[in-house]
Amino acid sequence: MSDHANQRRIIKASPQSCFDMVSDVEKLSEWTNDIKEVQVLVRDEDGRPGDVSFRAAAMGRSTNYILRYSYGSNPLRISWRLVESDLIQRMNGDYEFHPVGPNGEETEVVYDLDVDLLVRLPGFVKRRAESKIVHAAVDDLKERLEAGNLTR
């Protein structure tokens, strides 16, 4: 997959609840089926995940990779970039959470992802993989937050 994926969704949960769920990387496997194992290797000075090791299902096999998370001046944005991997050449992404609704009780989630694999894949396989990744990143997040009514 050598593509860019972008998705926007409105979630019936506060921006802080969305950010908290995404940044709790050790629990990603609870709502993202393809993530099999997560280990925080380094935390930043605020205790947030920095370098994180993942084992995930990918195209009928298992892949291992390490992402470096960063948090900028926007308190409701989290981004990551690939540090190392056995299958992925490049992976950069981010989530941003914007309050919407009259009282900001809902959130517009903006998800961006750029990925290059080390192996070449047919277009239809790349599109299927991209769809699955975006579904997990946005739709599964929405489902998990709205089912749990985790608004703040």
* Domain extents in the chain: 2-148
Mean pLDDT of the chain: 83
Task: State in words which class domain 2-148 has.
Answer: alpha beta
43 - beta bridge partners?
A: 49
Distance CA 87, CA 68 (A): 17
Cβ within 8 Å of residue 135, ≥6 positions away: none
Sign of CA dihedral 5, 152, 78, 75: positive
Confidence of residue 13 (pLDDT cuts 50, 70, 90): very high
List, for residues 63-73, the tens digit of each pLDDT value. Answer: 889 999 999 88
pLDDT value of residue 124: 46
